[in-house]
Amino acid sequence: MITVRAFAQVREVTGEDTFTLSLSTPTATVSEIKELLSQRSALWREVLESGVLCAVEQAVSDDNTLVSDGTEVAFFPPVTGG
Amino acid sequence: MFVDVCQHTLDINGYQNRLHEHSTNAGAIVTFCGLVRDFNHAGCIDGIHLEHYPGMTEKALNQLLCAANTRFDLLNAGIVHRVGDIANHEVIVWVGTSAYHRQAAFDGASYMMDMLKQSVPLWKKEYQGGRGVWVHKKHTDELAAMKWLQEASGTKESR
């Protein structure tokens, strides 16, 4: 199981904040996680198609980053602090 | 060096004192406060909300501080960012630097603010007309950050 976290507009569009997701393989890429999420709901598909950023274990990642059981994966829009 | 993410009014005098206390032989101290403007392109606003990613936000602020310290040879520096609901005119963010010479202190503070807007997990929502609207990133902020990145990859700085 991995933990998925959603922030800002990603959370508001999907209606999900923090949840766990089962992996059918020991590891998966972020791209594969996105595919799982797209199958989870149309809302996730919509927000992923709009372009989101991803962090794995609180480090900015790309579609090729590997994820395994126990990992935290977060999705969020471009940042707007300051 | 210090960073903090807090949900209360920023103690800007306290941060200035903390910066000064550990700035032996500094010739310059520069501080910056970012405030909540009470308007945007569509009219008056009723404050903002800042969301963060607990853990990652602090890490990103620390990385930024270290990068500024190394690049500008600072004596001391600090970044404090408020999150949660913030009323109009209140301080959102405080950045401070100290250095032997003023150019490094100015540049360090400017660099941290420009890069913070591009790299630190924080998301701003403005309250307007009874609803909250997420702010979109600005092209001017991207250009400001790009300037520092290009400068770093270009000729050696001479200041």
Residue A53 in any domain: the answer is yes
Instruction: Please name the residue of chain B whose CA is at the shortest distance from the CA of residue A55.
Output: B56
pLDDT per residue over A28-78, tens digit each?
Answer: 999 999 999 999 999 999 999 998 999 999 999 999 999 999 999 999 999
Per-residue pLDDT tens digits of chain B, which is 159 residues long? 999 999 999 999 999 999 999 888 999 999 999 999 999 998 999 999 999 999 999 999 999 999 999 999 999 999 999 999 999 999 999 999 999 999 999 999 999 999 999 999 999 999 998 899 999 888 778 778 878 887 777 644 444
Find out whether B112 and B49 touch, Cβ atoms under 8 Å: no
Query: In this predicted complex, what is the ipTM?
Result: 0.94
- Smallest CA–CA distance, residue B105 to chain A, in Å, is 19
Domain presence at residue A81: no
- Partners of residue B125 on adjacent β-strands: B49, B134
Ranges of beta strands (E only) in A7-80 are: 18-21, 27-29, 53-56, 59-61, 66-68, 72-76
> Contact A58/B59, CB-based, under 8 Å?
yes
Phi, psi values for residue B58, rounded to 5° = -65, -40
CATH assignment at residue A6: 3.10.20.30
Chain A residue numbers touching B135 (CB-CB < 8 A): 80
Is-contact B65 B112, C-beta < 8 A? yes
What pLDDT is attached to residue A61?
A: 94
Rounded to whole angstroms, how far apart are CA atoms B118 and B140?
11
CB contact under 8 A, A81 and B123: yes
**Residue from B101, B104, B99 nearest B24 by CA:** B99
Q: What is the pTM of this model?
A: 0.91
Do the Cβ atoms of A80 and B92 come within 8 Å?
no
Residue A82 forms part of a structural domain: no
Element (H, E) at B128: strand B122-128
Is A42 among the domain residues? yes
Residues in B touching A77 (Cβ below 8 Å): 123, 134
What would you report as the CA-atom Rg of chain A, rounded to the nearest whole angstrom? 12
Q: How close does chain B come to A14, measured CA to CA in Å?
A: 15
* Residue-number span of the structural domain to which A25 is assigned: 2-76
Of A74, A76, A78, Cβ closest to residue B137: A78
Contact A82 B119 (CB under 8 A): no
CA A18 to chain centre: 10
Domains in chain B (CATH in brackets) are: 2-153 (3.90.1170.40)
As for how many domains chain A has, the answer is: 1
| Distance in angstroms (rounded) separating the CA atoms of residues B62 and A46 | 33
CB within 8 Å: B137 and A9: no
Query: Residue A43 domain-assigned?
Result: yes
- B84: Cβ–Cβ under 8 A, 6 or more apart, which residues? B7, B49, B50
